[in-house]
Structure 1
Amino acid sequence: MPASASSLSASLPASATVPGPLSAADSIGLVQALKAVPDPRRRRGRRHGLQSVLLLAPQAVMAGASSWVAIAQWAATAPQALGVCGASPSAATFRRVLAAVDITAVEAALTTWVTGRQARARAQQPAGTTAAACRTVLAVDGKTLRGSTAAGGRPTKLVCVYDHAHQLVLTQVAVPGGDEVAAFALALAALPELADVLVTADALHCQRGHADFPATRGGHYLFTVKGNQPLLRQELRCLPWAQAPGTRRRGTGHGRTESRSIKVIDLDGTDAQALFPGARRAIKVVRRRRVGARKPSVEIVYAVTSLDHRGADCRLLADWLQGHWAIENSAHHVRDVTQREDASRIRLGAGPQLMAALRNTATNIARLTGHANIAAAQRTAAWSPTAITEALHAA
């Protein structure tokens, strides 16, 4: 017998309040958070509540659904083991309702939920962890939804904020007019707390305004420096790196050998410090990579940070620079390959962003319930739909 959306959502209680000095948002479960999203429809003629539709959709995505039709098929075949019966929303209902919903309100609700869960995870740091090592580090990065169509015929582009340590996508915002730089502050402004948070970003976001924004809320930055800041990059190149302390790392894997040399210099009193607001230290990374018997390649990368020597040592700065690219493998690659985002036929309006939010939510739930392999978590959900409800309870 088909599953009832209302019955299914009613069986998913909000998570219990977590003890300890956490934010108020930590007591808000996904069900409760989604209650804040306004229903765009008139009361007359409603057959399925908005919250039911919003809760069924990420559950279907957890099981591998990547279209409105697939979401509706999953909702219609949810087993009686979930304790529900009755009619479920059709593909047309999912498409119509989710295309009309206020995407900003949906993103805000999901951010409220996941930042609360992030706070709970942070509170479980092992005893003896230093303040620097347990610092929250967030990566800001853009992603293009290749199959979508935004205003002017361009594909939709989103800027995401990703938690390095817990591999959670905390929020995403649409890029206004295709300008990823303009969306940087919008994405960070959606977060409830930036005090003592370190923001990492690639060279595109190495902008003076971007350095100022975290500081206004008590945060810090770590930015890669490339050709879009030519004067700063030249000053960094001319620093006395030969005398600078550093560390070296070596690793092998996937048929390649790679070594990294990382050096750090204080910028107090240097010309480089005057070129970029809040800059306290510079980092130089020399990467040497050999694939098989090929000639090794060498790449030199510079970065600046507003953290002084008390905020992080050379090892942590190296970890955070390398960790920034985890968003590519742990978030973007998962959406592109495992969740088949690049093949999505949902193209118009807020639909592409809404589906991206559902994919982020499915991945976040998997991470929060201990799944390192999202493809394996998706297969488990497809084979055993009751595991989805259990995951929502646990998240």
Structure 2
Amino acid sequence: MDGKCLRGAVRADGSRAFVMTAVRHGDALTAALREIGAKTNEILEFAPLLDAADDTDLADAVVTVDALHAQKEHARYLVEDRGAHYLLSVKNNQPTLAGQLRALPWKDVPVLDRSRDRGHGREEGPRGEGLQRRRTAVPPRPPGRADPPETTPYRNEEMADRDLYAVTDLSAHQANAAEIAAWARGHWIIENTVHWTKDVTLAEDASRVRRHRTPAVMSALRDLARGALHRAGWANIASGRRAHTQPEAILALHGIPGLQS
């Protein structure tokens, strides 16, 4: 889950339109999208966004969100209300929790997973410079933690960059370090695939549509178009878009499993 500013949709009072989106890790399809009102914020729209996706069963799903949503109430909502699991990034917007995580005896915690991949989906340099190397450590859950839901700390050490911290309710027998690291990396699909495609291919940030709820409606329609082309087998959405400029080609997408007229 992540929020996005629709940069071209500047209202008469100078405020910008924002939407919040829930995206599936495996295929980058949008499960839910919700406008963030001018008098509210992402934190308050977290549960309503997932409540609106009432056809999405979150039981046993792992929900990844950025540091803004490292909130106790969000964790409780996911675990107790929806039967899901969470992986919450932690940064200095939660200074107490971030300090506790940094202070853990990481020197004594063995590295359980190592990975090497392209930073944020991009590779630089002729010999692969820019590839990110990561080492993942997950210490044992502290005993006697009474404040539900219980959390397990997680550290993702990016060798040339910085240490990233997160917490999850999953215990060691439910998820190993490699799985946790993969989910943490997979969270970037919402930026690198979804938001990037909407901005670069579908020109979302360039859109000046701004009246009423129209910016959010148009953002949802871009997600629908992106998802339809993806389900039709187009790995390159720009190519798929060019191939569907005629009405008869667009109507042919009706037969894609999961799409309705």
2: CA distance, partners of 1:380 / 1:311:
44
Shift of 1:195: 1.1
Q: Give the aligned partner of residue 206 of structure 1.
A: 70
Mapped pair 1:254 → 2:124? yes
**Gapped regions of structure 2 (runs ≥ 5):** none
2:25 alignment counterpart: 164
User: Residue 214 of structure 2 corresponds to which residue in structure 1?
Assistant: 351
In structure 2, which of residues 251, 256, 261 is the aligned counterpart of residue 389 of structure 1?
251
- Report the 3-state secondary structure (helix = DSSP H, G, I; strand = E; otherwise coil) of the residue aligned with 1:381: coil
Tell me which amino acid in the other structure corresponds to 2:238.
A
Q: What CA distance in whole angstroms lies between the structure 1 residues aligned with 2:98 and 2:104?
A: 10
RMSD: 1.8
In structure 2, give the amino acid aligned to 1:218. Answer: G
In the TM superposition, residue 146 of structure 1 has moved relative to its aligned partner by: 1.0
Superposed CA offset, 1:94-138 (max 9, x none): xxxxxxxxxxxxxxxxxxxxxxxxxxxxxxxxxxxxxxxxxxxxx
Match of 1:236 in 2: 101
Partner of 1:40: none
Name the CA distance, whole Å, in 1 between partners of 2:3 and 2:101: 26
- The answer to whether the Cα contact below 8 Å between 2:141 and 2:171 also exists between their aligned partners in 1 is no
Question: Which residue of 104, 120, 143 maps to 2:4?
Answer: 143
Matching residue of 1:266: 140
Q: Are positions 1:309 and 2:180 aligned together?
A: no
Residues 71-110 of structure 1: pairs in structure 2 closer than 5 A: none
1:152 Cα offset (Å)? 4.3
The answer for the alignment partner of 2:238 in structure 1 is 375
Question: Once the 2 structures are TM-superposed, how far is the Cα of residue 178 of structure 1 from its aligned partner?
Answer: 4.4
With over 3 angstroms needed to count, the CA separation of the structure-2 counterparts of 1:223 and 1:359, relative to structure 1, is: same
1:185 aligns with 2:185: no
Instruction: Give the number of equivalent residue pairs.
Output: 244
From the superposition, tell whether residues 345 and 282 of structure 1 become closer, same or farther in structure 2 (CA, over 3 Å): same
Residue 199 of structure 2 corresponds to residue 336 of structure 1: yes
Q: Which residue of 1 aligns with 2:16?
A: 155
How far 1:277 moved relative to its partner? 4.0
SS in 2 for 1:266: coil
Partners of 2:232 and 2:211 lie apart in 1 by: 33
Paired with 1:150 and 1:340, the residues of 2 have a C-alpha distance of 18
Query: SS of the residue aligned with 1:312?
Result: coil
Contact 1:250 1:260 (8 Å CA) reproduced: yes
SS in 1 for 2:243: helix
TM-score (norm 2): 0.87
Q: Contact conserved, 1:149 with 1:348, CA < 8 A, in 2?
A: no
Specify which structure has the higher proportion of strand. Answer: 2
Shift in CA distance, 150/184, structure 1 to aligned 2, threshold 3 Å: farther
130, 147, 152: which one aligns with 1:281: 152
Q: How does 1:108-127 map to 2 (within 5 A)?
A: none
Q: Which amino acid aligns with 1:164?
A: H
SS of residue matched to 2:32? strand
| Structure label with greater radius of gyration | 1
- Give, in angstroms, the shift of residue 281 of structure 1: 1.3
When the two structures are superposed, what TM-score results if normalisation uses the length of structure 1?
Answer: 0.59
Residue in structure 1 matched with residue 189 of structure 2 by the alignment: 326
With 323-332 and 242-251 compared, the bigger mean Cα shift is at: 242-251
- 2:10 and 2:208 in contact (8 A); partners too: no
